[in-house]
Structure 1
Amino acid sequence: MMKMSKMHKRVMSAHGAMLALTAAMPIAPAIAQSAQNAPELQTVTVTAQRRTENIRDVPVSVTALKGEKLDVLISGGEDIRLLAGKVPSLNVESSNGRTFPRFYIRGYGNTDFNTFASQPVSLVYDDVVQENPILKGYPIFDLASVEVLRGPQGTLFGRNTPAGVVKFESEKPKLGKVEGYYNASAASHYTVNVDGAVNVPLSDKWAMRVSATGQHRDEYVDNYSDLAKTRKTSEEDGYNEHAERVQFLYQPDKTFSALLNVHQRQTKGSARLFRANLIKKGSNTFADGTDLDSIVTNGQNFQTLKSNGANLRLTWDIGAVKLFSITGYEHVSDYFSRGDIDGGTPAGPGFIPFQVETSDFISDLDQYTQEFRAESQYAGPFNWQAGLYFFDEDVTGGNENFNSDTGARTTRVRSTQKNEAWAAFASATYNLTPDWTIRGGVRYTKDEKDLRTVEATNIVLVGPVVPVSESKDKINWDLSATYKLTKDINIYGRAATGFRAPSIAAASEFSPLSVANAETIKSFELGVKADLFDRRARSSFSIYDYTVKDQQLTVVGGNTNVNRLINAEKTKGKGAEFDFEAAISTALRVSAGASYNYTQIRDGNLSVFKCAQCTVTDPLNAAGRVVIDGNPLPQAPRWTVNATARYGVPFRDGELYVFTDWSYRSKINFFLYEATEFTGAPLTEGGLRVGYIFGNGKYEVAAFGRNITDQRRITGAIDFNNLTGFTNEPRQWGMQFKGNF
């Protein structure tokens, strides 16, 4: 009998568990019987293949968040990190608070906090890629949908998509009538969230939609300068943020439309709060006596961000072919985030070898994108789309160090990076029979980067400081087949490749300039999607296997404050994903999702510096460095589970309802090496909402709670000085009122 590796046994065991879960939930006779009188679920459409299609027909593992479920998640004014764990295989985290989010799909992402960092998960907002991480935290408001596309999407989407795509689509202007909404909530820590939108027809050919949001939280964490907590110097962990979006639609007839989108964002508030020796030595729990409502530091924690942009989408319908032009521009005029990353004072808490206060900044960022695409609209079995894509980015930014006693800046490094790329792509769909459909696509990409350090004040950089240029071209492809097992059940298989261009990290006083070579991925996926019980339920299940060659990894910290790029010879990933939604009765509706993601670094020659004070559980090589071969990827939970339930009953002239949502993720690794203290414990967060909808559905009042069990966990760390860590958000209770017109 052939022997299976430990990894394959784990994956097969996970697949078996997922299949059991699939069988237990949607096929239960009790659900089938109770669903007979329930309303049909509305068809969910997605644009995962750049066309509007029924989610069941798309041969990609994709989850869409829309409507009430999305509204509930954003009710407390949280930032984009709220999406973590809310759909299978998705994690989002940040060491910069509300700015600079980092995305992970199927365990595959990048912990790089460098100003010029690139990520293998692409965020696409209104068909425009947001490449630099500082652009990816735009607030969530007035959205039609959020789609999470898992696995390589390197044929149809423009930039760095080997892990997948998170796709946002805002509500669009409509011709015909005035409509809109307004929403206001107030919650714990004097958190206020206000947003709204109005659609205004300007004529029979013109329409405008204006959307805005404002978010505020009081500084609620007391900051003391002494361990006895007698000298309170400030309060921390609050924010003020507002964002606006104005769109104009011109549609003179059915053959042409033009949509102009202008938007901006301003953020000011606390940076991430770093807490010295937050982690108890020899464990991954809080140190004894931890009080998360206070902190003892002698440095500053704040951040500011100003960004704006515009895009123009033109569409021509010439019968058999539809033409698209998508022009995008994004600009950052000011980004500055400063933190006391040693997390304390010279006296503590705990042992702090030296004081460190740093900042990252972007003084100027300009991103231009242009896509031309043609899409066929044939009535026959064959259809295609093809296009050209251009990308141009120019960023100036760097980092600074400060004296915590005086507040004065001590050193400054500033660099510029120029990134230009272009691509040509094509894909086709062919219906072999009424039951069999095949799809395939190909994309050629040429990518060039140039980095130059233009300022080094009061600092000696490691290694020669010379301009560096990197260039790479690559052909990616994907191929899939879908078979209609019945009129309501599709099975599919997909093979796809992906590509991320080389990355460059500027030199520092601790590390020379580093370059990570291009990484590539080859992925295989099998799945089933079904509408069940006369379309009163839907379910999807997928299994996948991928191999990343030359994966770009980021070495952060160790024994100095470094941010260095390396390549792993190979990374393996395997797993399974499950989505389910059902109308159990006219009153009860539920959803559930789960994922199992197993990742493993495979490079016997790869080692990194170990942490300053933690308990490393990996082997050390002869040089005293940590061997990371066989480790999971950072921020990659093995398991994620999410579930929602809504129960509503008529009450007077409206509906009284209860809505609850829950998410769970298993333990995570903070860094490339494994250490007892830097392993994040499992995290479960729940939400509860009790509301009343009245006035023929026009008005809603609700009481809500987020993280209602107040489960606090260490979600990230800094390892080069002490056992510094930071945490998830606290429990929040609030009230909300929403009106539609």
Structure 2
Amino acid sequence: MRKILLAGVSAAWATFPAAGYAQNIEKTTEQSASAIAEPVENNDPMMEIVVTAQRRSEKLQNVGISVSAFSGETLRTAGITSSIEITKFTPGITASGAVGGQGMQFSIRGVTQSDYNDAIEGPVAVYIDDVYINSQQGHGMALFDLARVEALKGPQGTLFGRNATGGLVHFIVNKPELSKYGGYANATYGRFDQTTLEGALNIPIGDSTALRVSGTWDRHGAVWRNSYPAGMVTGTPLNFGASAISPIGQDLGGDDKLAGRAQLLVQPNDGLTIRLTGSALRQNLSSSPWTTSSVVPVVDGQDRVVGGFFASPTETRAAAGPNGQNYYNPAVLGFQGFLYSPNNDGHRAPGASWFGYVPVDIGERRLSEEFAKKNSNSFRAYNGALHIDADLGGAQLASVTSWSRYKKNFLLDGEASPVNAFDFGTRSNVRSISQELRLSGASGGVNWTTGAFYLDIDARNAQGLLGPAGSALGVAFGLPAGVDAMSVYRLKTRSVSLFGQLNWEFAPAFTLVVGGRLIREHQNYEFSSDAYADSGAYVIDTETALFPLHPSFQQTRTDWPWAGKAQLEYRPHQGLLLYAGINRGVKAGSYNAKLADGSPPLQPSEIPYEPEALLSYEAGVKLTGPSNRYTLNLSVFHYDYKDYQSFTFTHISGLVQNRDARTNGVEVEATLRPFGGFNLSASVAYVDTKVKNVQVAPGVSRDARPTYAPEFSGSLVASYTLPAMDGDLTIGGNLSHQSSVYHNARNFQSQKISGRTLTDFSVRWESQSGLSLSAFLKNAFDKRYKTVGLDLATACGCNVEAYGMPRTWGIMIGQSF
């Protein structure tokens, strides 16, 4: 840890990394975090940033937590339309995901969960407007009419509860304002026919009531050109019987999103604020845009897959045996029975997958998939909440009551090729209600918060392998007319917790922070796995079960996890904060939902997995220069992980197992404002992390790096604002870097995603009257970079992988009033 600390301090003074990339942040107040904050009219970058990381408004540089903050206006100007894109600006925060990149989650400091199971919750909590979003896809509706985004790193279990093991991301919306009529409207057009309309209207109703209505429509056409059936070796079959798939080979990557939010604010007196909110999202997408890389599994002397590597253009081995020889054994690797071998000798065609597909050039934005439909996938979200803030005299009461429903229907080509082999579908319907009560106050150098939280989630899911007519999967089941191998499961969760935190200034310049949360977690899980009659392509149908595939499973259990915090803070003078503490975060246990992929079913003891607990040791420094002309933040941390929930994808399914882990890291963030209008910020994060005894194959375990956890990440952001044409002109740029990651916990060479460096630019002019014109350029050098992958080496001799967006540009016109 001493070496990490010294390296971090050296990096800080060498590069001045960033403390936050935010403007137009709310004024400093001492009110409740749920209360309405007055927005800042001044655009002066020297103003101090205010966050609500401890459930009350505080200056960012005065909070003993590693926090990054971004204004909604900053994100909009940069052309940010996806919530996951904030990872470009934040050290230590990256993205993990599944389903061809259409489902992405946050990963913080190597704390990640790449399971595609829609019933589970991630270890990085997401909040929208003070409401916990239990769906890993639910944060897609966040990026409109935003005041700011706060990213908190490290366990946040004391004040934010379970499933904030790695940290949390909070999207804070603009709220209604009394006695002020106003709003804004923006229109954007960009590459791939991107069309975005966004607006908000604030309407005062009398002296004590206001209504705010906002919404967005954001769509773009297909990004990836489908050249089906290009890439197939001459003579290879596209189907294994009469195919009924229609349509086939459509272009992919299109997205059409419509979202809206309404808020009614009532403030009958100065001591009571009531805010009722409702929001909805409708998103339609193409089937998931996967691509393929040919890979070679490595098999040991006991017929176990213990490695893998990417196939060269001349590679002909179907798999590599113990001595490097060709390994062909359909009795062990069942899908080798479909191997296209030009010489009928158990070798693959050069550089091809087992099905005879040589991947087309992704550099030309091409892919080649048969199971590809431009509008097959959909996501729906509905949320309602009641926020009440009351001044009780010596304390403030905050109540947040919420209801949410999420519906998802996603489909993808299983092996991402022109061959009718197998496909994948997932359908979920998740309903949740929650209630939080917080009581807070301050007296005699003590700030305190206490409260209770209740959460009820009912998640119904169906996911599995789809085998339409003529598919290899149907033939493997002896049902060439088609079969779907589906896992159907339901997880009901009820969580109740009591929590409290005390910030005590026990001596001049010294503050002690102590807190804890006790949680009761009750779960009921039901699982079944059956073969269903196929109802046609692009359909997930669990009505007609033919026969069981895996034994059913049912369990009810109750756990009592707990979180806690103890931290010492020292403020020797204005502008300097030093802190050190111990923090315990927890994530609830859950259940595996294995696909029927031909491998043996799980034993009953392997289906449930235990809660994970992270014990964090962290120390940090926050330095603020005169007039906020520079800031320098440094944090070092060590994580001891007990029962880390490690997800490993093998064959065509995944498995979560509890393993211990450890992490060491350092983050440096800073800003420099040498003169008016110029802002330079940069950041760097180093994370050394390891999961112990990851099961690579039966009887084979190794220490490995967790998925989607880069060793290095960082960004450099610059902007300059100057007067121009009776307004202000701002020119900005962002450089972000992430080192390589693994998409599978087994850490095979074929499971490695190369690092990337991306560059974005933006320019914005805004007049005194509120008219604005802006333009953005993202991924300016048109890099092709992988974002997500799944190892299907034992199913097709290939990986399926998703790529990030190519170069995009857009122009925007807006008017605020």
TM-score, with normalisation over the residues of structure 2? 0.80
1:208–1:97 distance in 2 versus 1, CA, 3 Å: farther
Structure 1 moving runs of 4+ over 6 Å? 228-232, 278-281, 284-288
**How far apart are the structure 2 equivalents of 1:523 and 1:284?**
41
SS at 2:115 equivalent:
coil
Match of 2:409 among 336, 354, 376: 336
* Cα displacement (A) at 1:687: 0.8
Contact 2:128/2:170 (8 A) holds in 1: yes
Larger C-alpha radius of gyration, 1 or 2? 2
Number of the residue aligned with 2:504: 430
Distance 1:461 1:88 in 2: 47
**Counterpart of 1:260?**
276
Equivalent of 1:493 in 577, 580, 605? 580
The whole-number CA distance in structure 2 between the counterparts of 1:15 and 1:587 is 33
Aligned mate of 1:361, from 427, 431, 439: 427
Alignment of 1:150-169 (within 5 A): 150-169=153-172
Structure-1 residue corresponding to 2:337:
none
Alignment-derived partner of residue 276 in structure 1:
292
CA distance in 2, matches of 1:278, 1:685: 26
> For the structure 1 residues 125 and 232, does the alpha-carbon distance in structure 2 shift closer, same or farther, using more than 3 Å as the test?
closer
C-alpha distance in 2 between matches for 1:325 and 1:356: 49
Task: Give the equivalent residue in structure 2 for 1:607.
Answer: 695
Q: Does the aligned pair in 2 maintain the 1:341–1:718 contact within 8 Å?
A: no
Identify if the C-alpha distance between structure 1 residues 532 and 277 changes in structure 2 by more than 3 Å, giving closer, same or farther: same
Query: Structure 2 vs 1, CA of residues 724 and 174 (structure 1 numbering), >3 Å: closer, same or farther?
Result: same
Q: List per-residue Cα deviations over 1:623-649 (Å, max 9, x = no partner).
A: 5x65331x1111000111112111222
Residue aligning to 1:59: 64
2: CA distance, partners of 1:276 / 1:582: 44
Q: Does 1:303 align with 2:377?
A: yes
Counterpart amino acid of residue 250 in structure 1: V
Pair 1:529-2:622 in alignment: yes
1:435 is aligned with what amino acid?
Answer: A
Q: Give the Å deviation of 1:291.
A: 4.4
Partner of 2:780: 708
Q: Output the CA distance in 1 between the equivalents of 2:311 and 2:581.
A: 39
Alpha-carbon deviation of 1:241? 0.6
What is the letter of the counterpart of residue 566 of structure 1?
A: Q
Pairs within 5 Å for 1:456-605 = 456-458=530-532, 463-510=550-597, 511-512=601-602, 514-556=607-649, 558=650, 560-568=651-659, 570-603=660-693
Q: Distance in 2 between matches of 1:278 and 1:585?
A: 53
Structure 1 residue matching 2:192: 3-state secondary structure: helix
Q: Which amino acid aligns with 1:366?
A: R
State how 1:73-112 maps to structure 2 within 5 Å.
73=78, 75=79, 77=81, 79-96=82-99, 99-112=102-115
Change (3 A) 1:455 1:39: closer
- The CA deviation at 1:232 is 8.2
Task: State which drifts further: 334-343 or 284-293.
Answer: 284-293
* Corresponding residue number in structure 2 for 1:690: 763
Taking the aligned partners of 1:461 and 1:85, their CA distance within structure 2 comes to 46
> Runs of 5+ in structure 1 lacking a partner?
1-10, 28-37, 347-353, 610-622
- Aligned Cα root-mean-square deviation (Å): 2.5
Residue among 474, 494, 517 paired with 1:443: 517
C-alpha distance 337-484 of structure 1, shift in aligned 2 (>3 A): same
Give yes or no for contact 1:139–1:243 (8 Å, CA) kept in 2: no
Structure 1 residues 330 and 661: alpha-carbon distance in aligned structure 2, compared to 1, 3 A threshold: same
**Partners of 1:626 and 1:673 within 8 A in 2:** no
Match of 1:19, SS state, is: helix
Alpha-carbon displacement from aligned partner over 1:251-276 (angstroms, at most 9, x marks no partner): 01110010111000000012331112
Over 3 Å counting, the alpha-carbon distance change for 1:277 and 1:67 in structure 2 is closer
CA gap of 1:192–1:12, structure 2 versus 1, over 3 A, is farther
**Deviation at 1:461?**
5.4
Between 1 and 2, higher relative CO (CA 8 Å, sep ≥ 6) is seen in 2
Deviation at 1:119, TM superposition (A): 1.4
Query: How far did residue 431 of structure 1 move?
Result: 0.8
CA contact (8 A) 1:415 1:451 kept: yes
| Deviation at residue 453 of structure 1 after TM alignment | 2.6
Kindly provide the CA deviation profile for residues 216-246 of structure 1, in whole angstroms up to 9, marking residues without a partner as x: 1112422233226999842211011111010
State the alpha-carbon separation in 2 of the partners of residues 278 and 304 from structure 1.
30
Once the two structures are superposed, the pairs formed by residues 697-736 of structure 1 within 5 Å of their partners are 698-720=770-792, 721=796, 722-736=798-812
Pick closer, same or farther for the CA change 1:86–1:735 going to 2, 3 Å. same
Matched residue SS, 2:114: coil
Aligned to 1:181: 184
Counterpart AA for 1:42: M
Q: Do 2:523 and 2:558's aligned partners in 1 also have CA atoms closer than 8 Å?
A: yes
Distance 2:65 2:410 in 1: 37
Aligned to 1:387: 451
Deviation at 1:406, TM superposition (A): 6.1
Q: 1:228 to 1:358 in 2, by over 3 A?
A: closer
CA distance 1:577–1:212, shift in 2 (3 Å): same
Identity of aligned residues (%): 22
Give the 5 Å matches for 1:132-281.
Answer: 132-227=135-230, 233-277=249-293
Cα deviation, 1:487-537, whole Å, max 9, x if unaligned, reads 111111121101112111224324426211111111011011121133222
Matches of 1:396 and 1:101, distance apart in 2: 20
Structure 1 stretch 131-140 or stretch 429-438: which is displaced more?
Answer: 131-140
Cα distance in 1, alignment partners of residues 564 and 62 from structure 2? 20
Please give the secondary structure, in 2, of the residue aligned with 1:659.
Answer: strand
Equivalences, count: 688
Task: Find the counterpart in structure 1 of residue 476 from structure 2.
Answer: none
